[in-house]
Structure 1
Amino acid sequence: MSGMNWQDRRWDPFRDLQREMGRIFETLEPFQPWRLVRQFPAINLYDVGDHYVLSAQLPGMTAEDLDLSITGETLTMKGDRKRAEGVPDESFRRQERQFGRWMRSIALPDRIDGSQVTASFAHGILTIKLPKAESAKPRHISVTVAG
């Protein structure tokens, strides 16, 4: 007996489907580059109480290459990854880094106070502080004794 508790291991058809689809794509060589290419930056979004913090990896870009906007509960990031200057296309023997314009819209988990959003960029990492709107923050409700 392996000591595995079968009650803790429930069948999840979606997890199994995702695993099988991954195996199929791994066997199809023409699709390998398609699977690995990400046109937009990888992000982390986390809750720190009264605000959220979003960080995005943007190596090789500058703050001037970025455009951020917020509408309601959606943050939109746009950017332009520039090619290395002076390197003609025919010189490349391998080119894995993506270049060109990209856009990514992220649905935020709560209402944000758009007037208080700040962004900073250092060492290829964009950090956006997204304060929660007052209506999205938890409020304490006092209980009084009746009668």
Structure 2
Amino acid sequence: MSGVLWQNRWDPLRELHREMGRFFGGLEGLPALRQLRPFPPINVYDAGESYVLTAQLPGVSAEEVELTITGETLTMRGERKRPEGVKDDSYRRQERLVGRWSRTITLPDRVDSAQVSASFSNGVLSVRIPKVEGAKPRHITVAGGA
């Protein structure tokens, strides 16, 4: 019987743990904490003659994306709109950001900005960024000695 009484007794540490969980759980809705991760998530890889950048843009159309390249810097801008007919106070959890966004990426080498091309399919932006001729690796033949 003493075991049952012990479990029902007030435990200040357990109460503190529960309240701290509630406190930190309530902070999820703050915009500053939601924006810790950069949007959109991207991958950049070397495809030999060019670099390829892919960005996940769910809820954004191709017309809402603006790309600018200056030297070795690529800037993406856009806006993800709030779904029609959904009021702010009706959300119980909101993890997808809405509103204007901008992301700037510094590219690893010099690129040919006149030849950059972009496509958009199934919520994924793909940007092909050709390298400048001088930035491409060049094979050098080593001559044998006499």
The TM-score by the shorter chain falls in which range?
0.7 to 0.9
Tell me the amino acid that sits aligned with residue 115 of structure 2.
Q
Any residues of structure 2 matched to 1:9-48 within 5 Å, and which? 29=24, 33=28, 34=33, 38-48=37-47
Contact 1:39 1:102 in 2 (8 A): no
* 1:59 correspondence with 2:58: yes
Percent of counterpart pairs with the same letter? 57
Query: Secondary structure of the residue that 2:59 maps to in structure 1?
Result: coil
* 1:130 correspondence with 2:132: no
Query: Secondary structure of the residue that 1:29 maps to in structure 2?
Result: helix
Contact 1:69 1:75 in 2 (8 A): yes
2:102 corresponds to: 103
Residues paired across the two proteins, number: 120
Q: Which consecutive unaligned segments of at least 5 residues does structure 1 have?
A: 1-27
Query: Secondary structure of the residue that 1:64 maps to in structure 2?
Result: helix
Alpha-carbon shift at residue 36 of structure 1 (Å): 7.2
Contact 1:39 1:98 in 2 (8 A): no
Give the structure-1-normalised TM-score.
0.72
Alpha-carbon shift at residue 73 of structure 1 (Å): 0.3
| Aligned equivalents of 1:92, 1:32: Cα separation in 2 | 15
Which deviates the most, 32-41 or 98-107? 32-41
- CA shift digits 1:1-56 (9 cap, x unpaired): xxxxxxxxxxxxxxxxxxxxxxxxxxx93796326753511001100111111100
| Aligned equivalents of 1:89, 1:61: Cα separation in 2 | 20
Give the structure-2-normalised TM-score.
0.72
* CA separation of 1:64 and 1:114: change in aligned 2, threshold 3 A: same
* CA separation of 1:136 and 1:43: change in aligned 2, threshold 3 A: same
1:80 corresponds to: 79
Structure whose CA Rg is larger? 2
* CA separation of 1:85 and 1:71: change in aligned 2, threshold 3 A: same
| Aligned equivalents of 2:85, 2:26: Cα separation in 1 | 31
| Aligned equivalents of 1:91, 1:31: Cα separation in 2 | 16
Which deviates the most, 113-122 or 30-39? 30-39
* 1:139 correspondence with 2:132: no
1:8 corresponds to: none
